[in-house]
Amino acid sequence: MEILKQSISNISPITGEFTNQSLERDFQLHSFQEFNDYSRKYILTFGFLFFLFIIPDYFLIKDRYQLTTIFLIRILYLLMTFLYYSHLPHLKLYLNLFSTIYEFAGIVCFWILFFCDKHPNIFFYQQGLIILILAIFLILPNRYVNKIFLSVLLTLVSLYIIITIRKISSLPLYSGGLFTFSITIMLCCAFAARYENRLQRIQFLNNQALERLSNTDALTSALNRRKYDLDLEKEIARAKRYKHPFSGIMFDIDNFKSINDEYGHLTGDRVLVQLCSYIKGMVRENDQLYRWGGEEFIILLPGTSLRPAEQLANRIKNFLKKSDFTPVSTVNCSFGVSTWKEYETTNSFTKRLDYLLYRAKENGKGCVVSDSEGKNLKLFPEEE
């Protein structure tokens, strides 16, 4: 809960976004998939609606050259919409940049349409201006600062075209009303977007906290067995696709029952917590430690072949043997080490690790047994 409160304090009171760049990047990547799955169809709808305004243009504009120009502009924007829509799944890392470019292109098209119309219907363009402001804030994903900048630019330049270039000075009252109404809409959208940003990020933090609780062992803070099953499936799929090796280490504490009997279960719990703390400091950031059950643990080592995994297991064994677990004098562990083989399933890989750990126990405990010679291939029926 304290971690959650600290994370919420990283939300900016002005923009509603994370001030921590790492957290903001994680949120953007998380929300990208939802936008890609459910919201990008609205972009296509907006592009079609913008194009369909050619219908009233056809009846209102008598100059065929002017009508053709406007038609080409609307076609151009529709093509840009298709381009943005089709490339959106590949823009994960540059979504805000391309959203800004797309929105600015739409704004420029709006200005060109207004400028080309020799006898513009001001009420018609007022509606277009409001729709664009709403689209900037509500439809496309973008940084809050970008939304504010684009909406302000859109409003000010549009008013400049109305009053200065088009010289519609005969409607001063309307021009003032347009300015006031556009600013009001923009401010309402800005406040709503800031509030929505904050709520979305709080929900993101809550989901992260719930996920941590469901995937983490309460005592040791190692990942739990459920998370191991999920991660192992993903790791096998990744290894099959990219032909990268990965290895696993299963180990447990030798004679752990005697520690509980002699020093009590609370001391045994402290030993488990301290052991996990030591091991987390010895593995890489992308290596994961799981509590398999009781005093048994598994380490998954992505991108690691058998020999480096054996070396790591020996380093951990020697380090733990020399470490301080007061009041327990010495903590010894037995290790089973294997690397994943192309035909293996999640069950057979875990069974192999379990069998190798059993062999380590049989060999006198406090040792490392690996599958370096591949002697156990016929142990599991599904591998034959």
Q: Which domains does the chain have, with CATH numbers?
A: 2-212 (no CATH), 225-383 (3.30.70.270)
For residue 166, the SS3 value is coil
Burial 61-88 (b: 16+ CB within 10 A, else e): beeeeebebbeebbeebbebbeebeeeb
Half-sphere exposure of 238 (CA within 13 A, CB side): 13
Q: What is the pLDDT at residue 5?
A: 60
Percent of the chain with pLDDT over 90: 43
Query: In this structure, what token pair is assigned to residue 321?
Result: 């043997």
pLDDT, mean of residues 165-180: 55
pLDDT tens for each residue of 85-129:
888 777 777 888 888 998 999 899 888 887 777 766 677 777 778
Alpha helices in the chain (DSSP H): 2-8, 21-34, 40-52, 54-60, 64-87, 95-116, 122-138, 144-160, 172-215, 225-242, 256-263, 265-280, 306-322, 346-362
Extract the tokens encoding 76. Answer: 């151009």
Contact 182, 133 (CB under 8 A): yes
Q: Which two tokens stand for residue 292?
A: 């398999």
Query: Cβ(85)–Cβ(95) under 8 Å?
Result: no
The Cα 74–Cα 109 span in angstroms is: 8
Q: Which residue has the tokens 């600062």?
A: 145
C-alpha–C-alpha distance, residues 121 and 57, integer Å: 10
Q: What is the mean pLDDT of the chain?
A: 85
Res 43: pLDDT? 83
pLDDT at 381 over 50: no
Catalytic residue (choose from 295, 296, 310, 373): 295
Rg (CA), the chain: 31
Count, residues in the chain: 384
| The pLDDT of residue 142 | 87
Q: Do residues 161 and 115 lie in contact, with contact meaning Cβ atoms separated by under 8 Å?
A: yes
The percent of residues in the chain predicted with pLDDT above 70, rounded, is 89
Tokens 């994680």 belong to 26
Rounded Cα–Cα distance for residues 361 and 11 (Å): 51
Higher local confidence (pLDDT), 250 or 10:
250
Q: What is the pLDDT of residue 25?
A: 86
Average pLDDT score over residue span 283-311: 95
Using an 8 Å Cβ cutoff, are 290 and 299 in contact? Answer: yes
Catalytic, 296? Answer no
What is the pLDDT confidence band of residue 166, given thresholds at 50, 70 and 90?
low
**290 touches 227 (CB < 8 A):** yes
Q: Do 206 and 26 form a contact (C-beta atoms < 8 A)?
A: no
